Amino acid sequence: MDYFQHFGKMPVVIGVVTLILAGIIVYLSRLDIKVSRLQKQIKEIQNKKNHE
Amino acid sequence: MKHWYKILGSILLLYVAIFSLLHPLKPSLVQVDVSALHAGYNRIAFTGYYTHFNESKTEAGITLGNHFFTGDIQVEDNNHLAVTFDLPDSLPSTAVVFRVHNEQDGELALVQAMGMGDIVIDTTTDTTNFGTYARMEAKSAFGFPDLPIIYETIRNLNWHVPMWFTMFFLMIVSFVNSLKLLRVRNSENHLEDMLKFDIRSTLLNEVGLVFCILGLITGSLWARYTWGDWWTKDPQLNGALVVFLVYAGYFVLRASVEDADKRARISAVFNLFAFVLMFVLLMIMPRFASGLHPGKGGNPAFSQYDLDSSLRTVFYPAVAGWICLGYWMYNVRLRAKLLKEELKSMEN
Amino acid sequence: MHKEFQLDMRKKQVLFGILLFVLSSVYVCYLSLERIDSAKTLSALFWLVGLFGAFHAMTKSFSQEEQGSHFLLYTLASPRSIWLAKGIYYSLLLVFLNLLSSALFTLFFGAEIWEKAGGWLFAFIIFGSFGLGTALTFLSAMAFKANGSSGLNTVLGFPILMPFMQSLSMGTQEVLNGGDWGSVGLYLIILLGLTLLSAVLALFLVPFFWKG
């Protein structure tokens, strides 16, 4: 175990982890938006069909 | 707004990512550079970890019972200092403790095996001329506990453990869905209702299984660098593996049944069984057994870790955040699957 | 239950198949090991033979249901009692098999299982067989209803049986090392708990998927 504080390097790790997490969250958000859009589209088509 | 948990989860997890790594450990004294003390002149260098020798008033020396030996202190930087002092020719015992007192860090102590050089150990030594030590009030500086074997990896607590909490949460919701499925009575929408719950419990199990795998992998990695082995014979580890296999078997079972109605019912029954088994294996059995993984003989997950309030400030948000994120993952998959079903029925 | 017994007696070759399996397993162990010195190996092997014997026997128990003559019986009897009958019969069968296998172990290895362990071993065999029996009967019932092949049986069965096997194996090991109630009792209680759990779960859940 290294007793000497390499705290100077810690921000790098923090940056990496935050980046990874942010990436996952952004990916999820985009998926979510795509799915919502598709849901809306299908609803519209169904409404059209019902009105016919 | 129905997206509240997604935003909350994202914020919490970003907070956890930053602070689980940014928070310091509690300051501690890790070593002194001598292996023997001498009568007369002694110069000892102290090494600290997450200490602030340079930032506030520091005192250092050796205590023996109530007596204190100190002298000139040279602080090199936040983690290193050197003390020069004299020791008498004889001491009453060998129970010396190295101490550093710092205004910011509180009182730090270290016991290290010491040779006594040319000092005579005589219990009748005249101690009247020795300096006395006034105990300072113990101060608890902010930081994660610095525990042997684990050291810095305690930060992993905020990542590995929430995986299991999330899995547990998802499985509970899946269990409830299976219960609801089995209570659907014969009615007009019988099949549709059953399928509704069936899809939900299946997807919940799927995402839960993902978290189970993540938990196993992170745990194994953590074990390798603290206990030395990728896997040990521990009831919680074995139990977790069994849980993984049982839920994997759930999917195998589903794959072998053709009829949707039968499949829904059989998988619901198996899900109930699997959940009870998981509960027993992970929450009940470990309390009675012994092993390396923390949490025996009491709470199955925590021991002295969670009593520390500094850890709690990051751990609880981590659990909440991951549960939100896990549920978000499930929610997106659910909607995508329902869409697929809709499209299929529209094509017909 | 009578029916099960009659059935098995009629098809003696099925029973003999299982017995032969147990015999040959123990014999193979003997050929490769010749002597078992450690309690660990002995208990592990013993229960391993027991486990595979149990799997073997189970595939026979439900696969016989293919014949149409049974459907009448099933429409008359409640699913719970069917399961109970099969479960008890199967567990007793396992008790018999395990006793037999322990005799074989004594024969081949001169391991004084019975002298050293005596009552404890008997308790373990009883508890273990009932535990394995109840869990496996439940699983094979489910696999059968799911157009099961024996492959499904094994896949589902193996992880669920691991806790049983662990308690059995560690418990017997303790016993052979001359443990007392303190160390051995824990495993017996765990086994009992697991058995009760699977029995209760099965009794509760069987009616749900039996229709159809």
Residue B269 contacts C, CB cutoff 8 Å: yes
Nearest-Cα distance to chain B for C77, in Å, is: 20
Contacts of B324 (CB under 8 A, 6+ apart): B5, B6, B8, B9, B10, B12
Q: Residues B118-141: pLDDT tens digits?
A: 787 777 777 666 777 766 666 667
Neighbours of chain B (3+ CB pairs under 8 A): A, C
Residue C77 contacts B, CB cutoff 8 Å: no
Q: Which residues of A touch B325 (CB under 8 A)?
A: 24-25, 28
Q: Taking the domains of chain B in order of start, what are their residue ranges?
A: 28-121, 151-347
What integer pLDDT is reported at residue A4 of this predicted model?
A: 45
Q: Which of residues B257 and B5 earns the better pLDDT score? A: B5
Q: What is the mean pLDDT of residues A21-32?
A: 87
Question: Does the beta-carbon distance from B285 to C162 stay under 8 Å?
Answer: no
What integer pLDDT is reported at residue C1 of this predicted model?
A: 55
Overall size of chain B counted in residues: 348
Cα–Cα dist C137/B136, whole Å:
67
pLDDT of residue C137 exceeding 60: yes
- Compute the half-sphere exposure of residue C197: CA atoms within 13 Å on the CB side of its CA: 23
**Which of B249, B258, B272 is facing C159, going by the closest CB pair?**
B249
* Helix H or strand E segment including B4: helix B4-22
Q: Is C135 helix (H, G, I), strand (E, B) or coil?
A: helix
The highest-confidence range among A35-49, B104-118, B129-143, C130-144, by mean pLDDT, is A35-49
Residue B160: burial class (beta carbons within 10 Å; 0-12, 13-18, 19+): buried
What integer pLDDT is reported at residue A27 of this predicted model?
A: 86
Question: Does the beta-carbon distance from C205 to B256 stay under 8 Å?
Answer: no
Question: At residue B31, what is the residue type?
Answer: Q
Residue B156 contacts A, CB cutoff 8 Å: no
pLDDT of residue B117 exceeding 60: yes
Question: Does the beta-carbon distance from A38 to B346 stay under 8 Å?
Answer: no
Q: Tell me the C-alpha to C-alpha distance, in Å, between residue B256 and each of B154, B251, B336.
A: 43, 9, 24
* Helix H or strand E segment including B106: strand B106-110
pLDDT of residue C27 exceeding 80: no
Q: What's the pLDDT band for A3 if we cut at 50, 70, 90?
A: very low
Q: Which of B51-65, B293-307, C139-153, C179-193 has the lowest mean pLDDT?
A: B293-307
pLDDT of residue B324 exceeding 90: yes
What integer pLDDT is reported at residue B186 of this predicted model?
A: 65
Q: Which of residues B163 and B117 earns the better pLDDT score? A: B163
* Chain B residue at shortest CA distance from A16: B17
Question: Does the beta-carbon distance from A5 to B78 stay under 8 Å?
Answer: yes
Whole-complex ipTM: 0.76
Question: Does the beta-carbon distance from B13 to A35 stay under 8 Å?
Answer: no
Nearest-Cα distance to chain B for C115, in Å, is: 29
* Chain A residue at shortest CA distance from B21: A14
The rounded Cα C169 to chain-centroid distance in angstroms is 14
Q: Which CATH superfamily is domain B28-121 in?
A: Immunoglobulins (2.60.40.10)
What integer pLDDT is reported at residue B321 of this predicted model?
A: 93
Q: Which residues of B touch C194 (CB under 8 A)?
A: 280
Q: What is the mean pLDDT of residues C76-85?
A: 67
| C-alpha closest to that of B75 among B101, B98, B94 | B101
Question: Does the beta-carbon distance from B258 to C147 stay under 8 Å?
Answer: yes
Q: What's the pLDDT band for C124 if we cut at 50, 70, 90?
A: confident
- Contact between B201 and B181 under an 8 Å Cβ cutoff? The reply is yes
Q: Which residues of A touch B151 (CB under 8 A)?
A: 1
Q: Which of residues B82 and C166 earns the better pLDDT score? A: B82
Strands B90-91 and B120-121: parallel
Cα–Cα dist C152/B303, whole Å:
40
Cα–Cα dist B17/B318, whole Å:
9
Q: What's the pLDDT band for C196 if we cut at 50, 70, 90?
A: confident
What integer pLDDT is reported at residue C77 of this predicted model?
A: 61
Strands B72-77 and B67-69: unpaired
What integer pLDDT is reported at residue B170 of this predicted model?
A: 95
* Chain C residue at shortest CA distance from B183: C208
What integer pLDDT is reported at residue C147 of this predicted model?
A: 66
Residues 60-79 of B with CB under 8 A from C: none
What pairs with residue C193 in β-bridges? none
pLDDT of residue C110 exceeding 80: no
Q: What's the pLDDT band for C69 if we cut at 50, 70, 90?
A: very low
Q: Which residues of C touch B252 (CB under 8 A)?
A: 152, 155-156
Q: What's the pLDDT band for C109 if we cut at 50, 70, 90?
A: low
- Contact between B87 and B69 under an 8 Å Cβ cutoff? The reply is yes
Nearest-Cα distance to chain C for B269, in Å, is: 6
* Chain C residue at shortest CA distance from B239: C163
Q: Is B95 helix (H, G, I), strand (E, B) or coil?
A: coil
**Which of B18, B79, B336 is facing A5, going by the closest CB pair?**
B79
Q: Residues B208-229: pLDDT tens digits?
A: 999 999 999 888 888 888 888 8
* Chain B residue at shortest CA distance from A4: B49
Neighbours of chain C (3+ CB pairs under 8 A): B
Q: Residues B80-100: pLDDT tens digits?
A: 888 888 888 888 778 888 888
Percent above pLDDT 90 for chain B: 19
- Burial pattern B268-287, b for ≥16 Cβ within 10 A else e, equals bbbbbbbbbbbbbbbeebbe
What integer pLDDT is reported at residue C35 of this predicted model?
A: 64
Q: What is the mean pLDDT of residues B144-151?
A: 76
Q: Which residues of B touch A3 (CB under 8 A)?
A: 30-31, 47, 49, 79
Residue C186 contacts B, CB cutoff 8 Å: yes
Question: Does the beta-carbon distance from A35 to B332 stay under 8 Å?
Answer: yes
Residue B158 contacts A, CB cutoff 8 Å: no
Overall size of chain C counted in residues: 212
Q: What is the mean pLDDT of residues C148-171?
A: 77
Q: What's the pLDDT band for C68 if we cut at 50, 70, 90?
A: very low
Q: Which of B112-121, C99-108, C177-186 has the lowest mean pLDDT?
A: C177-186
Mean pLDDT score across all residues of chain B:
83
Q: What's the pLDDT band for B347 if we cut at 50, 70, 90?
A: confident
Q: What is the mean pLDDT of residues C67-85?
A: 60
Global pTM exceeds 0.90: no
Residue B273 contacts C, CB cutoff 8 Å: yes
Q: Which residues of A touch B332 (CB under 8 A)?
A: 28, 31-32, 35
pLDDT of residue C70 exceeding 60: no
What integer pLDDT is reported at residue B225 of this predicted model?
A: 81
- Contact between C208 and C148 under an 8 Å Cβ cutoff? The reply is no
pLDDT of residue C159 exceeding 80: yes
Cα–Cα dist C108/B85, whole Å:
74
Q: What is the mean pLDDT of residues B152-169?
A: 88
- Burial pattern B20-52, b for ≥16 Cβ within 10 A else e, equals bbebbbbbbbbebebeebebeebebebbbbbbb
Nearest-Cα distance to chain C for B305, in Å, is: 28
Q: What's the pLDDT band for B165 if we cut at 50, 70, 90?
A: very high
